[in-house]
Amino acid sequence: MRQIEPDIAYEVKAVGLLALGFGLVGLDRWLVTPLAPQIMRELKFNYQDLGALAAAIGLSWGVFAIVMGRLADRIGRRVIIIPAVIGFSLLSGLSGLATGFTTLFLARLAMGVAEGAYCPSSYAAALDASPPKRRGLNLGIISSAFALFGLALGPIIATQLVLILPSWRDVFLLVAVPGLILAFFLSRVLRETPVAAQHVEQHGPSAGWLAVLHYRNICVVLPVICCSMSGVFVLGVMAPLFLTDVVHLPTATMGMVMSGLGFGGFAGQIAVGAVSDRLGRKLSLAAAFVTGAAALLLLAFAGFCSIGLFFALFVAAFACCGANALLAGPIPGESVAADMASSAMGLAIGVGEIFGGGIAPAIGGYIAQHAGLEATLAVVAGVLLIGAVMTALLTETAPRFQHR
């Protein structure tokens, strides 16, 4: 028992701190959107510019999630995680010092580099700290923190702080502090793990990205995850403006309604994965896409009250984030050989981030600027339906069905 307890204690501390880090990643990333009305008025930019801001962080996140995830296998997790936490915290604070669109764009672009480096490295560190029987649980805790802090609590925190602080700039400066404190605790707790080179020795240094494309499911997952990621990120960027500019909600009420996006995403990441263990990945994924599309259409055209808007956002995020959870983890991980699972999941996350988190918000901003925010939500609903149709091309990977 004396040998086991320290490992359990380390597991709890490591997973807890890494989850807090991923929560701060979500908070920093989504802080712009609930504050967008104030930022846009002061810095004088439009819907299309707002989409470009989201595109900047999504593109840099996606690229560096792929690159730094592989690097962490070579040089270690700790050496990447701690500087990344310091980096995205400082860059979030610097966002509050922006003097115009260009400086804010550059700050968000650089922040995506740090957050993209943190994401796969934190997953890998959690796997190193977890026994096999709790790896799924611990990774679920870490990933759900992103939605909980970024999309659920973030809008509430931002819209309430802006009421008591002199400016939206002070909100950015204030939320940078927890990340710096977290970096200190990570430096005291997080252990470095031996770097595993087995995959490189067996397959060569570049085989990870190329070999996974020989699997049919991976070739299907890449475009399908772009659909689900588009739903999450375009909705996250444009929904605050839809609620204030179209529905005309007060800022504080908008923040409360927007929290439905985060609570729904938090619940969906856990629930859709659990359902797919019993009903299969394909059926659960297709159902999530159709449900998300229906919720977006209702959000755009049904004219709900605040409670109805909260519920529509909850269901849309539940479906989109639940689909993301399957497409970023179980489906690619179960589709390839065991020693290529990390490469497959990293590639899926990176491609999804580049398109869904980078390109799609820019397209959504263009549509909103020229056709209205309702049209943007309708187009995203169509993208989700395309994802539902493409799901039919996947091969079922759920272990329960493989046994049959």
For residue 3, is pLDDT > 80? no
Contact, 61 vs 337, CB < 8 A? no
pLDDT at residue 47 is higher than 90: no
State which of 23-37, 145-159, 203-217, 382-396 shows the largest mean pLDDT.
382-396
Lowest mean pLDDT among 18-22, 390-394, 396-400: 396-400
What the block records as the tokens of 198 is: 């087995």
pLDDT in tens, 148-193: 888 778 878 888 888 888 889 999 999 899 999 999 999 999 987 6
* Lowest-confidence segment of 39-43, 53-57, 102-106, 127-131 by average pLDDT: 127-131
299: three-class secondary structure by DSSP: helix
User: What is the structure's pLDDT at 196?
Assistant: 45
- Taking CA atoms, 112 is separated from 50, 294, 389, in Å, by 15, 31, 31
The pTM of this model reads 0.74
pLDDT of residue 319: 93
pLDDT at residue 291 in the model: 96
**Region of poorest pLDDT, from 200-204, 362-366, 380-384:** 200-204
Joined together, the tokens standing for residue 184 give 């200190």
pLDDT at 288 over 90: yes
CA dist list (Å): 14 to 141, 188, 340 = 12, 10, 25
Identify the pLDDT of residue 5: 44
Instruction: Quote the pLDDT of residue 60.
Output: 87
Over the stretch 306-364, which tens digit does the pLDDT of each residue have?
888 899 999 999 999 889 888 877 787 778 775 666 677 778 888 888 888 778 888 88
12 pLDDT higher than 80: yes
Q: pLDDT tens digits for 78-136?
A: 888 999 999 999 999 999 898 888 899 999 899 989 988 888 788 778 777 877 666 65
User: Residue 364 belongs to a domain with what CATH number?
Assistant: 1.20.1250.20
pLDDT the model gives residue 339: 61
**Number of domains the chain is built from:** 1
- In this prediction, residue 200 has a pLDDT band, given cuts at 50, 70 and 90, of very low
Of 385, 384, 365, residue with least CA distance to 375: 365
Nearest to 125, CA basis, from 197, 189, 40: 189
CB within 8 Å of 279: residues ≥ 6 apart: none
Average pLDDT over residues 37-53: 83
Query: What average pLDDT is seen over the chain?
Result: 83
Quote the Cα angle for 342-357-173, to 5°: 105
Structural domain for 374, as ranges = 4-403
Q: Where do the H-state alpha helices sit in 130-250?
A: 135-147, 154-164, 168-189, 198-203, 207-211, 216-241
Closest CA to 151 of 228, 264, 227, 53: 264
